[in-house]
Structure 1
Amino acid sequence: MSGILARLRLSFVSGVTGAAVAALVVGVILERVPVFLTGGGVLVLLVLIGFVPGRRLPGAVEPPATRTALARIEDLRATSGESADVPVTFRLTVAPEPEDGRPAYRVKIDQHINLVDIPAYRPRGIAVVEYRPDEPWEVRIVTRPTPEWSRRAEEAEIDSAPESTLVENPGPSEGAWCLLVLVAFLAGAALVVVLFRGELFTSGDEAAPSPEQPSVTSSASASVSVSRRFTTSTTVPGPSSSLLVLGRMRETATELAHRADASDVTAISIQERRMEIRGDSARPPGETFHIQMLPYELFPALVREARTTLGVRAPQSWRIDVTPDPGTGPGTGPRVRVTVTGEEGTAHLDADATARIVDRRPVGEGGRGR
């Protein structure tokens, strides 16, 4: 609210400045000393008003009041990045504390998350957030919460808030405020010109002002979930291209999810230049996983480990298969299996959802499959 009031004051000052400048010009053209002095006096007054507060020593500025709360992750979508921090778009259900007196609501935020921490955030998971009660759309995920809040997040269960509770920043954009300031300046100048139009324009023609009315367009979208199965694949073009290039796996996974119009899948298969996803919306949540929750940036290291430590001296091909873990129950995340093949045979390497190696099956050794 304080930011809106400050911009409104700026618009008012801009309008007065425009009128003062126009008065100076009109006073010179018409050789009207009172008009000239009035415009000049107003400009000097505005300069003094702006200069004197600037000379005061700034007091302690109180930071915006924030509250800590728990939030349910409804959905998240990450995009590829060149650094260790990956931009992620979250859709959250924020559940304020009871003493705040505010019901749970939905919000959409963008935040950079370190690629190592991405597997910790998954749909239907609970995160610790900070939000501003006066501006509830200002929400930030706390990546390093205190032990007390971490314990509360592990034990909490939060129901999804309806889509109708989604809050967004109602204020206009910075570009709209700049346009408003410019319009206020021109309106102030035009007001002075209109007052002296009879003397300025000998023709005496009066042009009726025709202000433009801003148009406001609102749109609403709704999505209907239909039970269906899908299989979608793509091939990376170019003989020298490889999905092992940093960032290419996540970029390809994002493209496939957009093409399939789905984020929860039942299996992912990745080869040198080909990626395939499969899904079934009729499956329960424990038998699917979110396509963006995987640490794709760590998969090349798993492939390198499998090719060099499992007894395959000249690997001819490799493949990554990601499926839900059937044996340890819900909440543990998918299982990642890297398979390498060469003249010696086939070897496997298993990892969890954080790319931590949990099992090895070198060439020639028997092993238990998943």
Structure 2
Amino acid sequence: MTTAAGGPPSPNTPSKLALGLLTGAVIGASLAGFVSGCVLGRTSLVVLSLALPAAYGLVAFLASLPRWGREAAAVPVRALALIEEREAVRGESSDVPVQFELSVVPDGAPGFRVGIRQEINLVELPDYRPRGIVVVEYPPDRPWKARIVKRPTPEWERRVAGARLDSVPGPAMREESGPGCAGCLLTVLGLLLGVGAVLLPFHTELFAVVEDGTGTARPAVTSSSESSSSESSSSESSSATITVTSATGTVALGPGQSMLDQGELRKAVESLTPGGEPRQALAVVVQDRQLTVVLNPADGVPGAGAPGAGKGPGFDPRSLPYERIPGLVEEARSTLGVKAPKSWQLTADGTTGALTLRIVVTGESGSATLEADGRGQVLRRNGG
């Protein structure tokens, strides 16, 4: 039988490099998708990030089945081998790993040197001295996977007793233990590409969540008119940006300011009603540095001579219990069981009846809600 005496396959073949790149991309995309889905609260993204590596592993398993079948069907080759070197590595059990370098001389084929590592019992270790002859077994297409046969058949024992072998010149073949430098670099590159492919579509939402949680400056909020009849007034200063249309009014504070500062929320609401003209609101949404008022279109546009509040559903946003709101927010942040609260949002709604204040606090352990009436008296709490 003729065997190939060439060395083990290189770890940097194009197929293996491509596989390393793809594996890194799958790992990066899965990790980034899982974290992004948890931060943004998107269950579908979390499920997809968990399904991706499972699907990739299944495909890789199915693709490997033919190769495993061929390897299992191959009849191993047995040959005599001369022990050139032996080095035992200290172990904690009776079987210790031993590094062998062998000169293998198969029947009817060129000899070759191979380096292997195999566990040998301490009691049997004296039987494997340098220059001793042993029987080895290896796959015909992978001679570097040779193993010493510890209990050969009587026929092979007779061959060992009468054999005289010479050393085979040349370096010893050794199985490649790692993917190589190029393979590692491509795997890292794939990891970065996978992370970038997931973060790029969601970077705006992720940065917004991070900014809300850390208090860093957010971009100034702008708005355009929704129709030709809408009035849009925008005044920018170092402290706030005010935008008013026919449907909404928005005030965005600058860095270092908060709607919970004394008198800040009242001033922001009054800045949306120039000249003191009342205007009905369908809802008021307050965050740390942003106020949004959903206006009642039936009341007309401020400054256009429209009648005052009172048409259709809604409430006067100037009637909010401003003095109670900072305390309600603090109570929601500290008493509802939300771990490490990062952001809060107050929504005032009076379209279906009495004015109701709803404060939602979000943190590491989830979110919780506190509800109060139009006077700021707490009605109910839903803990995190």
- Return the TM-score normalized by structure 1: 0.38
- Return the TM-score normalized by structure 2: 0.37
